[in-house]
Amino acid sequence: MTVIPYFTTFACLCVFNAAAESTQPALMTPQIIGDLPDGSLKIEIELPKFTIANKDIIGKRLIEEGGRTIELRKIRPVSLPAPPPAVPSPPLDHPLVQQRLAIAAEESGDHDFMLMGSTVYHPSNGPTCSFVSLHPIGPGEPITFWTSANFALLTGFASFVDSTGKVRSIIMSWSEEDTRIPDLPKFPAGNATFSITAGNPSNASLTAIQSLHDLYNKEYARLLTAYLGRRQAQQAHEAELKANPPEPESLVISYWREEMVPAAAQTQPEGVAK
């Protein structure tokens, strides 16, 4: 059993008259869905085990290596399904992919996904900022923007409710950089804001981006505390492994083929020399 730490508004100023107020949907305060991990929870993972009956073990051999014992067991052949042929994944802008994404987006109803990539910068010549790309579900071009928000703090939860009541799930890859930025964006002091640099965002995209910033500004202290807790737990875990490395575990390796057969040779028709 392996124990690991658990690490893994659209801004609007409107004046309503009585008629407009009755048809304009009320904006909500964006909310995080579920718990916000802070590094205090640990998960126990039960790894799957490969078992072979004693009657199917033909022979055994022990090897001592690196302070551990490796048991080589020759077993009777096990029927395994043929591996599927390698099929390259189509690009995101492939028509079939876009069609399936559009269908998924339509079926999601009040649930939407935000596919994002972000780089968090800690530049020597200014405050922390992030460069973010938002990839649309369905047709459309990516949207990129600079933001004064530290997007590393937005990695602790998977879903939130935006200002319109729509549930949005975040799928984001991210990294951090400590480097000087020649053209460092200028952001006003106070709440985090963003500036679109490329793409033609729809109202829905702007709503999603602004809602995420509203959530960041509203929950900043909580997001920061949880992020620092996760990072501290990870650092403590790494330090513990360095100070007390686990004892090498004994291994059991089962095999039934002793010669290497090139993959190309396996697919040759009968009668062809190998």
pTM of the model: 0.65
Orientation of helix 220-243 relative to helix 203-218, angle to 10°: 70
Question: Do residues 155 and 229 lie in contact, with contact meaning Cβ atoms separated by under 8 Å?
Answer: no
For the residues 26-46, what does the mean pLDDT come to? 84
Q: CB within 8 A of 76, min separation 6: which ones?
A: 56, 58, 256
Question: Which of 46-55, 65-74, 166-175, 264-273 has the weakest average pLDDT?
Answer: 264-273
* Residue 92: band (very low, low, confident or very high) from pLDDT cuts 50, 70, 90: low
Looking at the predicted structure, is the pLDDT value of residue 93 above 80?
no
Question: Do residues 50 and 71 lie in contact, with contact meaning Cβ atoms separated by under 8 Å?
Answer: no
Q: Which residues pair with 73 in a beta bridge?
A: 60, 254
Q: Is 103 left (phi over 0), alpha (psi -120 to 50) or beta?
A: alpha
In degrees and rounded to multiples of 5, residue 249 shows phi and psi of -85, 140
Q: What pLDDT was estimated at residue 198? A: 93
First to last CA, the chain: 44
Q: What is the mean pLDDT of the chain?
A: 80
Looking at the predicted structure, is the pLDDT value of residue 170 above 90?
yes
For the residues 249-267, what does the mean pLDDT come to? 71
Looking at the predicted structure, is the pLDDT value of residue 15 above 60?
no
* Residue 270: band (very low, low, confident or very high) from pLDDT cuts 50, 70, 90: very low
Question: Do residues 4 and 237 lie in contact, with contact meaning Cβ atoms separated by under 8 Å?
Answer: yes
Q: What pLDDT was estimated at residue 161? A: 92
pLDDT digits (tens, 9 = 90+) for 102-123: 666 555 555 588 999 999 999 9
Task: List the chain domain ranges.
Answer: 30-35+95-240
Q: What pLDDT was estimated at residue 90? A: 73
pLDDT digits (tens, 9 = 90+) for 40-90: 887 777 777 878 888 999 999 999 988 889 999 999 988 877 877 877 777
Q: What pLDDT was estimated at residue 136? A: 76
128's tokens? 């922390």
CA distance 139 to 252: 50
